[in-house]
């Protein structure tokens, strides 16, 4: 009988674990009807109504054609003039095709410097005839007032702007930013939870959502965000109850990931199966074949306008939709540009020079440096967790430029940090201009109200440098690849096989990377670090990702923790790095000054040195898997994990004990257990 009880207990426990596992790890698209082959086509016998959709996302101010390294050659891709020509041709074939954008229209090139004054990005969407868009996280980089001003500026164009569709904003939030943004939207583009478009006799409801990671990447945003999945469920239910629609589309600035638990748009498809189509933005993913969960399709076309998505859906007898055609069209020079749109862009270039570049002593034509070194691409930065020469150049530029100021010479920083998520473009081959450098770092707005994040100088205690390394070694390796860190003046060693938040084995100062020197870290000493404002603002997000386990408190020179602003973020205004004229030292300007400082080999233009042909031992990875290497020198995080595991074991043991007791009671009550007869 005891054996039978044990078997029943094991089965009962197995069912619970299996159910829990199914809830935690739902099937990937390949296990849930992912489309394969036929360029995303479903080979069913659908012959119902058809809907065509053109889509873009993550354009990031790349409004004109740009050069792109493609293997061993350089090609030109993207640009609104080419996209305009393509849309016009497609509308000749299908006049009722729907045109949608998934957000992050801004932040990437010098066109963004006109963001609030002239709104070139949103005006382009209007000029090209986009029907709807949604918010990306980078639309909030400039603050609420600049965003509101952008809507008013765009409305003056008379182009007929796309609607903003977003369902997970708490519009009732009582703060000035929410009021500013929604007042501007209501008076210009219009903003709705969803809208219904009729195309070829088909009623299409379109809604939008901003994902959790995306709004964690918008530290300056004053809007209050609601859970995206719960908001979508409510919105979809409302659409189904009130609109009599044939199709529901979500333009989602959430993104996908190779790790299902971090792939928000796949989670949305699983949780909200009523959606017919998800246009997936934010992660810059090129989805060559649509992901397919049940009856929900997920599509994506990368970033920067290199590709444009074009699809056609056909209605089935059961009311759901098959993907009849799907293609990602590369916007190469084979597509002739729309001259009207090209002329509009030309008009912005003088404003870029007069209103922005002249302030920093640059123009669009001057060659600042020349480069014959093939640096890693931004994709390489995200794909490989090790020292990268591109990251080294960024961090070197920060330390050099900050320490070259009058204040820097008197109070030099010890080291600098450049996170991968702030590196927006690689160093181009050949001539390097201010436009190229701005694209390399194009984030944010300073406290001076001018586009471009400044450098900041903060102080950290020695023991926090180990915590800083864990952001890279643990968070950057798995949870948030944008948190990979590159250093100048600091060396670290970590072992990926060690426990989470205990991967770092060594941290030390490197006063001169060319010499085999190191300076040991004093846990109680204050060390001065240089980084960019955006990275400083993201310290709170890292704390959130680690569930509060990782916490770094930026301090001033006296060791006082920086105060918080009205939004609960650290206020870095007092630690901004300023040039000798007292102006904010913009991060992109710091990179430009560093490149301009290189030795000239005879033609009057600086040359990127051979130093950047190789790495220099700043970030060392040890792949040791022995038990001693993995478990030696546990830190406080390991102790916390040990306590957590112990608590889980105790709870599991109690649960099993209670299950056994419950089963015994049930069996006894049913008379299955009989007392042995007395002798």
Alpha-helix runs per DSSP H in 405-477 = 406-410, 434-440, 462-470
- pLDDT at position 642, please? 66
Domain boundaries, given as residue ranges, for the chain:
1-26+645-674, 42-339, 368-627
Contact status, residue 331 vs residue 82, Cβ threshold 8 Å? yes
- Owner of token pair 């935690």: 24
Contact status, residue 94 vs residue 50, Cβ threshold 8 Å? no
- pLDDT at position 565, please? 86
DSSP string, 364-404: SS-EEEEE---PPPHHHHHH--S--HHHHHHHHHHHHHHHH
Low-confidence ranges of the chain (pLDDT < 50): 1-45, 679
Neighbours of 673 (CB within 10 A): 12
- pLDDT at position 194, please? 98
Q: Read off the pLDDT of residues 296-314 as tens digits, 9 standing for 90 and up.
A: 999 999 999 999 999 999 9
- pLDDT at position 145, please? 94
- pLDDT at position 674, please? 54
Alpha-helix runs per DSSP H in 377-532 = 378-383, 389-404, 406-410, 434-440, 462-470
How far is C-alpha 595 from the geometric centre of its chain's CA atoms? 27
Sequence-distant (6+) residues with CB within 8 A of 542 are: 471, 475, 480, 483, 550, 552
- Gap between the Cα atoms of 646 and 639, Å rounded: 11
- pLDDT at position 203, please? 98
- pLDDT at position 637, please? 67
Q: Residue 141: name the closest of 173, 172, 179, 103 by CA.
A: 103
- The CATH number of the structural domain formed by 368-627 is 3.90.780.10
Q: How would CATH label the architecture of 42-339?
A: 4-Layer Sandwich (3.60)
SS3 track for 108-174: CCHHHHHHHHHCHHHHHHHHHCCCEECCCHHHHCCCHHHHHHHHHHHHCCCCCCCEEECCCECCCCC
DSSP E strands in 171-320: the ranges are 191-192, 194-199, 202-210, 247-253, 277-280, 291-293, 296-299, 307-315
380, two tokens: 């390489």
Q: Read off the pLDDT of residues 244-255 as tens digits, 9 standing for 90 and up.
A: 999 999 999 999
- Gap between the Cα atoms of 325 and 177, Å rounded: 42
- pLDDT at position 650, please? 87
- pLDDT at position 602, please? 85
Backbone angles phi, psi at 529, to 5 degrees: -120, 145
- pLDDT at position 26, please? 33
- pLDDT at position 677, please? 54
- pLDDT at position 10, please? 39
Longest C-alpha distance within the chain, in Å? 112
Neighbours of 371 (CB within 10 A): 20
């Amino acid at each position: 009988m005891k054996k039978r009880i044990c078997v029943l207990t094991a089965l009962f426990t197995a069912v619970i674990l299996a159910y829990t596992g199914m809830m935690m790890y739902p099937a990937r698209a390949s296990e849930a009807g992912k489309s394969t082959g036929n360029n995303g086509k479903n080979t069913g016998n659908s012959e119902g109504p058809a809907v065509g959709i053109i889509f873009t996302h993550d354009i990031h101010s790349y409004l004109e054609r740009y050069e792109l390294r493609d293997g061993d050659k350089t090609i030109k891709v993207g640009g609104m003039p080419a996209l305009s020509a393509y849309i016009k041709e497609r509308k000749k074939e299908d006049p009722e095709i729907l045109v949608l954008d998934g957000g992050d229209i801004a932040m990437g090139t010098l066109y963004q410097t006109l963001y609030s004054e002239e709104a070139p990005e949103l005006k382009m969407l209007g000029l090209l005839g986009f029907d709807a868009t949604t918010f990306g996280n980078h639309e909030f980089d400039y603050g609420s007032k600049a965003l509101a001003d952008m809507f008013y500026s765009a409305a003056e164009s008379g182009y007929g702007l796309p609607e903003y569709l977003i369902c997970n904003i708490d519009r009732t939030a009582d703060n000035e930013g929410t009021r500013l943004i929604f007042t501007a939207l209501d008076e210009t583009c219009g903003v709705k939870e969803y809208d219904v478009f009729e195309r070829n006799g088909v009623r299409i409801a379109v809604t939008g959502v901003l994902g959790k990671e995306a709004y964690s990447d918008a530290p300056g945003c004053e809007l209050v965000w609601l859970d995206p999945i719960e908001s979508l469920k409510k919105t979809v239910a409302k659409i189904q109850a009130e609109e009599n629609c044939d199709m529901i589309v979500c333009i989602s600035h959430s993104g996908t990931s190779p790790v299902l638990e971090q792939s928000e748009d796949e989670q949305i498809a699983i949780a909200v199966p009523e959606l017919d189509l998800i246009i997936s933005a934010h992660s810059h993913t090129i989805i060559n074949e649509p992901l397919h969960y049940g009856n929900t399709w997920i599509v994506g076309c990368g970033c920067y306008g290199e590709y444009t998505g074009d699809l056609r859906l056909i209605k089935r007898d059961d009311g759901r939709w098959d993907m009849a055609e799907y293609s990602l069209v590369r916007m190469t020079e084979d597509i002739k540009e729309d001259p009207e749109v090209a002329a509009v862009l030309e008009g912005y270039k003088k404003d870029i020079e007069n209103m922005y570049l002249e302030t920093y002593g640059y123009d669009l034509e001057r060659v600042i440096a020349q480069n014959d070194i093939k640096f890693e691409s931004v994709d390489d930065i995200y794909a490989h967790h090790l020292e990268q020469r591109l990251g080294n150049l960024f961090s070197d530029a920060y330390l050099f430029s900050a320490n070259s100021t009058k204040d820097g010479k008197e109070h030099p920083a010890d080291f600098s940090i450049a996170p991968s998520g702030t590196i927006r473009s690689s160093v181009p081959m050949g001539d390097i201009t201010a436009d190229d450098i701005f694209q390399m770092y194009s984030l944010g707005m300073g406290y001076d109200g001018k586009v471009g994040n400044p450098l900041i100088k903060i102080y950290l205690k020695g023991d926090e440098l180990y915590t800083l390394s864990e952001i890279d070694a643990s968070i950057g390796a798995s949870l948030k690849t944008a948190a990979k860190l590159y250093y100048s003046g600091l060396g670290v060693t970590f072992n990926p096989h060690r426990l989470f938040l205990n991967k770092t084995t060594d941290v030390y100062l490197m006063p001169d990377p060319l010499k085999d020197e190191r300076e040991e870290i004093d846990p109680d000493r204050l060390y001065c670090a240089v980084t960019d404002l955006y990275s400083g603002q993201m310290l709170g997000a890292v704390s959130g990702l680690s569930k509060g386990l990782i916490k770094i408190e930026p301090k001033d020179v006296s060791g006082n923790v920086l105060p918080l602003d009205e939004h609960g973020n650290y206020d870095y205004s007092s630690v901004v790095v300023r040039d000798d004229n007292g102006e904010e030292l913009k991060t992109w300007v710091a990179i430009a000054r560093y490149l301009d400082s290189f030795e000239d080999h005879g033609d009057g233009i600086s040359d990127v040195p051979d130093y950047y042909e190789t790495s220099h031992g700043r970030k060392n990875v040890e792949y040791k898997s022995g038990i001693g290497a993995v478990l030696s020198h546990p830190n406080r995080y390991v102790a916390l994990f040990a306590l957590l595991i112990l608590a889980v074991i105790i709870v599991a043991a109690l649960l099993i004990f209670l299950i056994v007791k419950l089963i015994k009671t049930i069996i006894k009550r049913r008379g299955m257990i009989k007392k042995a007869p007395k002798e």
